[in-house]
Amino acid sequence: MIAAKDNNKELLELLLAHGANINVANRNGETALHIAAKTDYNDLVNFLVLHGSNINAKNKDSETALHLAARRHNIEMAEILMSNGAKVNIKNQYGETPLQYLLPTYD
């Protein structure tokens, strides 16, 4: 988690090489992918996706990394996630989808 928060790809590579679980979640249900999405680390999101992150994993609020990227209007990250299988219609605990967050961007 700390490696993702610090955008430390080298440490993540080392941890993964030694068998770390890329999909482990913190007490808020956030994986490294959620954390990278919240911090606008597009390259790190791409790295995590390519190394097997569960792209549709939900946190405690039932939000995926795509929800987080879309809410921040990070179109590049949203494209990375969607092109790798992120679902645009997954609802969070409030019934909101990533697509709903992205639509205002194109007004």
CATH topology of domain 2-106: 1.25.40
* Per-residue model confidence as pLDDT tens digits over 10-45: 888 888 999 999 999 999 999 999 999 999 899 999
**Which own/partner contact pairs does 92-100 have at CB distance under 8 Å and 24+ positions apart?**
92/58, 92/61, 92/62, 92/63, 92/67, 93/61, 93/62, 93/63, 96/67, 97/67, 98/64, 98/66, 98/67, 98/69, 98/70, 99/70
51 pLDDT more than 80: yes
Domain boundaries, the chain: 2-106
pTM of this prediction?
0.89
